[in-house]
């Protein structure tokens, strides 16, 4: 298992926690200097806040932990491709890297950005890490909802 997979497994464990609480199962962690400094999962239902996505909660924790409003040296691992709101938040954070699991053709930032990247020019973005596992959890969740 490589580094990316190792960290994505931790994000997946967060997503699993969300699943068990009947939240849309998306998890995110932030890594700095090879250390996990933030872990979060979707808490929209618990917080009664439609903006309480895993990425936003992880960012807030990381800002507080590092005492910095920018995260140029950090990497976000998130199980599902970020939505427009989270992409905009990641832009402001100037985070160094974004690594996502499965693509999301319906709700990701791509729903309205066309060719223009919403991310900071210095942020590198890559996806497809443990994509099948990340997607399977979401599929299972929505299958049970129908």
Residues that bind a copy of itself (CB under 8 A): 44-45, 47-51, 56, 59-60, 63-64, 67-70, 83-89, 91-94, 109, 111-114, 116-118
Q: Which is nearer to a copy of itself, 44 or 136 (CB)?
A: 44
Indicate the SS3 state at residue 76: strand
Closest distance between a copy of itself and the C-beta of residue 139, in Å? Answer: 21
To the query of whether residue 3 is one of the catalytic residues in this protein, the response is no
Residue tagged active-site, from 14, 23, 55, 81: 55
Residues 6+ apart with CB under 8 A from 71: 30, 32, 59, 62, 63, 93, 94, 95, 96
- Specify whether the backbone of 78 is left (phi greater than 0), alpha (psi in -120 to 50) or beta: beta
What is the dihedral sign for C-alpha 6, 73, 14, 142? negative
Closest distance between a copy of itself and the C-beta of residue 101, in Å? Answer: 20
Q: Which is nearer to a copy of itself, 56 or 130 (CB)?
A: 56
Q: Which is nearer to a copy of itself, 79 or 93 (CB)?
A: 93
Token duo for residue 146 = 């129908």
Catalytic residues: 55
């Amino acid at each position: 298992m490589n580094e990316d997979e190792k960290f994505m497994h931790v994000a997946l464990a967060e997503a699993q926690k969300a699943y068990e609480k009947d939240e849309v199962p998306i998890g995110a962690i932030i890594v700095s200097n090879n250390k996990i400094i933030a872990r979060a999962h979707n808490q929209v239902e618990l917080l009664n806040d439609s903006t309480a996505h895993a990425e936003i909660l992880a960012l807030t924790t990381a800002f507080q932990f590092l005492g910095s409003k920018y995260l140029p040296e950090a990497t976000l691992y998130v199980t599902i491709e970020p939505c427009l709101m989270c992409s905009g938040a990641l832009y402001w954070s100037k985070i160094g890297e974004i690594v996502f699991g499965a693509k999301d053709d319906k709700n990701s930032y791509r729903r309205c950005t066309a060719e223009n990247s919403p991310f900071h020019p210095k942020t590198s973005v890559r996806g497809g890490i443990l994509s099948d596992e990340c997607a399977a959890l979401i599929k299972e969740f929505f299958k049970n909802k129908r």
